[in-house]
Chain A
């Protein structure tokens, strides 16, 4: 029986590209925090953080090359968190 899974070896270059993208997004989010978006400031900051975390999840955490069950479970966890956040704010908004 084969013990170790035949996992895909990601080339170093891919990681370096993702790292460059992540650092660029960090710089963009710092720059964006100095611009006044009014009510959208929080939205812009969270949007950029979400793009960064997606890159980490998909490439660094290997989800792109993992089995289907993880590819379904991980987004579900974030959906759950989003849903709880949404319901909490509904409650606080209409109290």
Chain B
């Protein structure tokens, strides 16, 4: 028996990592589900105010941001395939496109929020005090839910940046793509939440 070669087998459990990521995603889904229920109840109790307040939001900005997030989700999903096909260059291009899309989303969000704040629609503003409870609730939920979502985008940007660095250093390859897959799962979650935020805040006027 040849003992001259010592095979070092690093212990890894990719199925376990993925399951762990999914369990984390479940907690995230329940967190946002709770907020959606709060939104649903207050919309039910203040239909008129929610109807009018939602008209303050720009449908076109919301639609553009939706499409940006959908494209970024597709690019990171494709990166999971391209790393397995050993195409490092395409993987990097796809990951960086995802990052660029995330940044465009955040820039849009910045202009959207500063526009709202400029018009006096921000939590505990004088404008909202004069408008009453329904509008205060709508904009409170709007800023909290899209803000929490934007926070998730920023975390995703950090995560994907780490993946980009590791792919370019060849420490993340087709042999161990689980970090890329899990970052992808997280990014799809961010997309998933936005798919519900968009109609509820922008479209139901």
Contact = CB atoms under 8 A, between A and B. Distances in A.
Interface of A: 1, 3-5, 7, 9-12, 15-16, 18-19, 22-23, 26-27, 29-30, 33, 41-42, 45-46, 48-49, 52-53, 56-57, 59-62, 66-67, 69-70, 73-74, 77-78, 80-81, 84-85, 88-89, 92
Contacts, number: 125
B22 interface: yes
A81 B66 contact: no
What bracket does the count of chain B residues touching chain A fall in? 35 or more
A4 B17 CA distance: 11
B33 A81 contact: yes
A46 B192 contact: no
B14 A3 contact: yes
Contacts of A60: 73-74, 77, 184, 188, 191
A22 to B, nearest CB: 5
Given A3-B14, A4-B176, A26-B67, A9 B85 contact: yes
Contacts of B192: 53, 56-57
B10 interface: yes
Contacts of B11: 3
B30 interface: yes
B106 interface: no
A12 B78 contact: yes
Given A45-B204, A56-B73, A73 B26 contact: yes
A3 B185 contact: no
A56 B195 contact: yes
Nearest to A84: B37
Interface in B54-110: 59, 63, 66-67, 70-71, 73-74, 77-78, 80-82, 84-85
Given A4-B12, A33-B203, A15 B59 contact: no
A61 B26 CA distance: 13
Contact of B204 (A7, A42, A73): A42
Contact of A49 (B77, B178, B199): B199
Of listed A4, A16, A66, residue having the most chain B CB within 10 A:
A4
A77 B191 contact: no
B19 interface: yes
A30 B63 contact: yes
Contacts of B37: 84-85, 88
A56 B191 contact: yes
Contact of A7 (B67, B84, B198): B84
Contacts of B195: 49, 52-53, 56
